[in-house]
Amino acid sequence: MALTATSTATITTLLVSLLFLPKFYSFELIIDYDYSSISKSDVDLLEFPLNLEFLEAEFFLHGSLGYGLDKFAPNLTKGGPSPIGARRAKLDPFTQDIIKQFAFQEVGHLRAIQKLVKGFPRPLLDLSAASFAKVVDRAFGQPLAPPFDPYASGLNFLLASYLIPYVGLTGYVGANSKLQAPASKRLVAGLLAVESGQDAIIRALLYERATVKVPPYGITVAEFTDRFSELRNKLGHAGFKDEGLVVPLVEGAERKIIGNILAGNRKSIAFERSPEEVLRIVYGGGNEHKPGGFYPKGAKGRIARSHLHSMPTA
């Protein structure tokens, strides 16, 4: 039977459609987000995590590659100042590979957030060994000798990494219920999934060495994580939302185990933190109005700046 012009055109259309089928059915194309519908509150909640994403991206990039966003993706910095003291860490090949993966993931996070909201220039970050040493000294209540250096070894870098993704993770959990637009919720859900994965990998690698003593301090990895978590609970001023790699039986999953490779409440649900709690922790002083710690001049975005502009009088 001869093909008519109409049937020929129909077949051609079908063949073209099949050729591009993967593209037609890709996730981004079949979901049409109306970004213009995102409320001001959503924008604020989506911009705030950029502070943590910049911190993670720079720390992981420098630690694994020896350079940061200024070389890898300068457009994402929006002209913000280069970080202080970040440098390449002495990592074994396996740890370097993992941290490099984290670094590229964080760059992707910056791209994703900046695609949805305007964002802001990279804040000034203090990623120097001295900055981390201050956090560690505060966690132990006394100066360690020699001062803790996150770049000195793979183990030290993993311990320093324990300080970072988890704070952002709890911030995403806290923000999720406050978001309104579907596009906002989907973005945060996706970011939270990867941040949770990073934290789980860091905790798993450290848990494997929980009883190993960190040289030259003679302090176990598990105790380091306990002290870090206790400090974050103290700085957050919002109760118990952080726990180390080994916990009392009563705080373990179903109260039946002391191993704590993933942090969670008594129903193993992730803890949440508000932006104010996050700022209290990353500023290092327990005060969302007083910059310091990893952010010498404070974090950026409307939420963070509103606290800097409303410092309580003495």
Q: How confident is the model at residue 312 (pLDDT cuts 50, 70, 90)?
A: low
pTM: 0.87
Query: Contact 123/300 with Cβ under 8 angstroms?
Result: yes
According to the model, what pLDDT value does residue 8 have? 46
pLDDT single digits (tens) 102-111: 999 999 999 9
Q: Quote the pLDDT of residue 36.
A: 57
pLDDT of residue 26: 34
Cα end-to-end distance, the chain, whole Å: 92
Q: Which amino acid is at 60?
A: F
What are the CA-CA distances from residue 79 to residues 16, 168, 179, 269 (Å)? Answer: 44, 23, 29, 39
Calculate mean pLDDT across residues 153-182.
Answer: 95
pLDDT of residue 20: 43
Q: How big is the CA angle at 299 (ends 227 and 314), to the nearest 5 degrees?
A: 80
Closest CA to 42 of 189, 169, 178, 193: 178
Q: What pLDDT digit, counting tens, does each position of 90-133 carry? A: 999 999 999 999 999 999 999 999 999 999 999 999 999 999 99
Task: Spell 105-130 as b/e; 16+ CB within 10 A means b.
Answer: bbbbbbeebbebbebbebbbbbbbbe
Average pLDDT across the chain, whole number:
89
Q: Give the rounded distance of the alpha carbon of 248 from its chain centre.
A: 27
- Structure confidence at residue 309 (pLDDT): 72
Query: Residue 31's pLDDT is what?
Result: 36
For residue 213, give both structure tokens. 């003593």
Q: What percent of the chain has pLDDT over 70?
A: 87
Where would I find the H helices in the chain? 5-19, 21-24, 27-30, 40-47, 50-65, 69-72, 93-116, 129-140, 154-162, 165-176, 182-207, 221-236, 275-282, 302-308
pLDDT band at 254 (very low <50, low <70, confident <90, very high): very high
Q: From CA 60, how far away is CA 63, in angstroms rounded? A: 5
The neighbouring-strand residues paired with 292 are 295
The Cα 312–Cα 243 span in angstroms is 31
Choose the weakest-confidence range: 132-136, 210-214, 263-267, 299-303: 263-267
Say how far apart CA 227 and CA 221 lie, in whole Å: 10
pLDDT of 201 strictly over 50: yes
Residue pair 27/98 in contact by the 8 Å Cβ criterion: no
* pLDDT over 90 at 232, yes or no: yes
Asked whether residue 173 carries a pLDDT value surpassing 70, the answer given is: yes
Which two structure tokens, joined as six digits, stand for 293?
Answer: 């710690």
Residue 16 pLDDT greater than 60, yes or no: no
pLDDT for 164 equals: 87
Out of 21-25, 132-136, 215-219, which region has the weakest mean confidence (pLDDT)? 21-25
Mean pLDDT of 133-144: 98
What span, in angstroms and rounded, lies between the C-alpha atoms of 212 and 177? Answer: 39
- Provide the CB-side half-sphere exposure for 292 (13 A, CA): 13
Structure tokens at 2: 């001869």
- Per cent of the chain over pLDDT 90 is 85
Q: Between the CA atoms of 70, 73, 74 and 77, what dihedral angle is there, to the nearest 10 degrees?
A: -90
Q: What is the pLDDT of residues 18-73, one digit of tens each?
A: 344 443 333 333 333 444 568 999 999 999 999 999 999 999 999 999 999 999 99
Q: Shortest CA distance to 164 belongs to which of 53, 280, 69? A: 53
